[in-house]
Chains A and B, each alone.
Chain A
Amino acid sequence: MSARVSVQEADFDIASELARLETLGGGGVASFTGVVRGGGGLEALRLETYPGMTQAALETIAEEAQRRWPLTGLTLIHRHGTLPVGARIVLVGTASRHRAAALEACAFLIDWTKTRAPFWKQELFADGVTRWVEARPEDDVAAAAWDSSAEHGRP
């Protein structure tokens, strides 16, 4: 099992990240990329972290994914700082001998990352207005659905 977890300001290269997962014995590689969504005059998001805790929280989530699914590899990269519309925010990649584990673990990792890691998004608008993003109840529902499936790996 080869896990890579990173909290960083810099962008990441999806092709090389997925290529790394493809070298781990084959089967399937699944991925999710989160991108800053535009609209309503939004220019950028500012991502705040809890230095010292954010990396550890992501590592805990990654360990939980490894405990639940037979993964051969995992990548979880989350950016912070000011990210303009269209910029990549987060990459989840999973590798497993079979596709179901890779796909399910990928969904689990993004659901828990959204709700169980200390990040806060602030919206920066073209007119200078800023607004803190509110947590969405449906994100908590999605994350909690994995709680009741701990023994099966399915929501």
Chain B
Amino acid sequence: MALNLLYFAWVREAIGRDGETIDPPEGVETVAALVRWLAARGGGYAEALAEPMRLRCAVDQSFASLATPIAGAREIALFPPVTGG
């Protein structure tokens, strides 16, 4: 099922785009697994996603942990820890 990905801040800059639509393969069941699958593309993906500890995510516009299952999700955003205020 099509899944919209969004990238923000240095994740967006390293990957070189602000988002894309993907069809995750079988076996990619959590955000963490999705991050590993994307990082395996190499290049900017590897640069942005090599250290999952530095990443935060939102699933369908709610903050979530990387352990969150992606089944049923429509939009997943990957970004650094927030720095507003």
Which one of A18-26, A97-105, A130-138, A145-153 contacts B? A130-138
Partner of B83, one of A50, A53, A56, A120: A120
Whole-angstrom distance between the alpha carbons of A34 and B85 in the complex? 7
Q: Is there an interface contact between B63 and A116, defined as CB atoms closer than 8 Å?
A: yes
CB distance from A48 to the nearest CB of B (A): 6
Whole-angstrom distance between the alpha carbons of A113 and B84 in the complex? 7
Whole-angstrom distance between the alpha carbons of A141 and B6 in the complex? 28
Partner of B84, one of A52, A117, A122, A132: A117
CB distance from B33 to the nearest CB of A (A): 22
Whole-angstrom distance between the alpha carbons of A20 and B29 in the complex? 49
Given the contacts A52-B61, A53-B58, A53-B77, A117 and B82 also touching, CB distance less than 8 Å: yes
Whole-angstrom distance between the alpha carbons of A50 and B84 in the complex? 12
Name the interface size band of chain A. Answer: 20 to 34
- Cβ of A115: which chain B residues have Cβ within 8 Å of it? 82, 85
Query: Number of B residues contacting the other chain (C-beta, 8 Å)?
Result: 15
In the complex, the chain B residue whose C-beta lies closest to that of A56 is B61
- Cβ of A120: which chain B residues have Cβ within 8 Å of it? 8-9, 79-80, 82-84
- Cβ of B83: which chain A residues have Cβ within 8 Å of it? 114, 119-121, 132-135
CB distance from B37 to the nearest CB of A (A): 22
For residue B42, CB closer than 8 A to chain A, the reply is no
Q: Which residues of A contact B (CB under 8 A)?
A: 34, 47-48, 50, 52-53, 56-57, 78, 89-90, 110, 113-122, 132-135, 139
Q: Which residues of B contact A (CB under 8 A)?
A: 6, 8-10, 58, 61, 63, 77, 79-85
Q: What are the 9 tightest A-B residue pairs by CB atom distance, in nearest-first order?
A: A119-B84, A114-B85, A135-B81, A120-B9, A53-B61, A133-B83, A121-B83, A132-B10, A113-B85
| 11 further A-B pairs in the complex, CB-CB below 8 A; given A53-B58, A120-B83, A135-B83 | A50-B61, A50-B79, A114-B84, A115-B85, A117-B84, A118-B82, A119-B83, A119-B85, A120-B9, A135-B81, A135-B82
